[in-house]
Amino acid sequence: MTKPNSKINLAVYWGAACGGCCVSILDVHEQLFDIVAAANLVFWPIALDIKYDDVRAMPDGHIDVTLFNGAIRNSENEEMATLLRKKSKLLVAYGSCSHMGGIPGLANFSNKEEIFQRVYHDSESTINKDKIRPVPKFEVAEGILELPVFYDSVRLLKEVVNVDYFMPGCPPQTERLVEVFMAIVSGAELPPAGSVIGAGDKAQCEECERKKTENKQITKFYRPWEIEDDGETCFLEQGVICMGPATRSGCGHRCITGNGQCRGCYGPCSDTIDPGAKMMSAIAGLVDSKDPEEIEQILNDIPDPAGTFYRFSLPSSIIRRSLS
Partner 1 sequence: MNDIRIGVYVCSCGTNIAKMVDVELVKTTVEKLPNVAMVRNYKYMCSNPGQEMIIQDIKDNDLNRIVVAACSPNMHERTFRAALRSAGLNQYLFEMANIREQCSWVHEDRIEATEKAIDLIIGSVKRVALHEALESMEVDMNPNILVIGGGIAGLTAALELAEAGNKVHLVEKQNKLGGNISRVDLTAPYLYSARDLLTERITKVNENPLIDLHLNSKVSDLKGFLGNFTATIDKQNGKPGKESAQTVVDIGNVAVCTGYKEFDASRITHYGYGKLPNVITSFELEKMIRNGQVVTKEGKIPQYVAIIHCVGSRNQEFHAYCSRVCCMTALKYVHEIKSMNPKSYVSDIYIDMHAFGKGHEDFYRRSSEVKTLFLMYEKSDRPVIHRAEPKDDCEMLIEVNEILSGELIEIPADLVVLMVGMEASDDSNEIARLTNISQDKDGWFIESHPKLEPVATTTDGIFIAGACVAPKDIPDSVAQARAAAARILSKVSKGKIEVDAVYSEVNEEICSGCRLCNSLCPFSAIEFLEEEQRSHIISALCKACGVCVAACPSSAINGRQFTDRQLIAQIDGLFNHMEALDV
Does 245 bind partner 1 (CB under 8 A)? Our answer is yes
Interatomic CA distance for residues 94 and 66, integer angstroms: 9
Does 279 bind partner 1 (CB under 8 A)? Our answer is yes
Does 196 bind partner 1 (CB under 8 A)? Our answer is no
Torsion of CA 97, 100, 103, 105, to 10 degrees: 110
Does 273 bind partner 1 (CB under 8 A)? Our answer is yes
Interatomic CA distance for residues 298 and 254, integer angstroms: 29
Q: Which stretch binds partner 1 (CB under 8 A): 81-89, 124-132, 181-189, 282-290?
A: 282-290
Binds partner 1 by CB under 8 A, chosen from 149, 282, 299, 306: 282
Interatomic CA distance for residues 121 and 257, integer angstroms: 42
Decide whether 85 or 99 has the Cβ nearer to partner 1. Answer: 99
Decide whether 63 or 287 has the Cβ nearer to partner 1. Answer: 287
Q: Which stretch binds partner 1 (CB under 8 A): 133-141, 158-166, 175-183, 215-223?
A: 215-223
- Please give the single-letter amino acid code of residue 305: P
Interatomic CA distance for residues 264 and 255, integer angstroms: 10
Decide whether 185 or 269 has the Cβ nearer to partner 1. Answer: 269
Decide whether 102 or 275 has the Cβ nearer to partner 1. Answer: 275
Does 216 bind partner 1 (CB under 8 A)? Our answer is yes
Binds partner 1 by CB under 8 A, chosen from 204, 261, 313, 317: 204
Angle at the Cα of 78 from the Cα atoms of 75 and 82, rounded to 5 degrees: 140
| 104: preceding bond cis by omega (within 30 degrees) | no
Closest CA to 254 of 173, 165, 156, 311: 173
Binds partner 1 by CB under 8 A, chosen from 127, 132, 141, 318: 318
Interatomic CA distance for residues 209 and 219, integer angstroms: 24
Size of the site for partner 1 (CB under 8 A): 32
Q: Which stretch binds partner 1 (CB under 8 A): 90-98, 177-185, 197-205, 295-303?
A: 197-205
Dihedrals phi, psi of 119, to nearest 5 degrees:
-75, -40
In the complex, the residues that contact partner 1 under the rule CB under 8 A are: 201-206, 212-217, 236, 244-246, 249, 268-273, 275, 278-279, 281-282, 284-286, 318
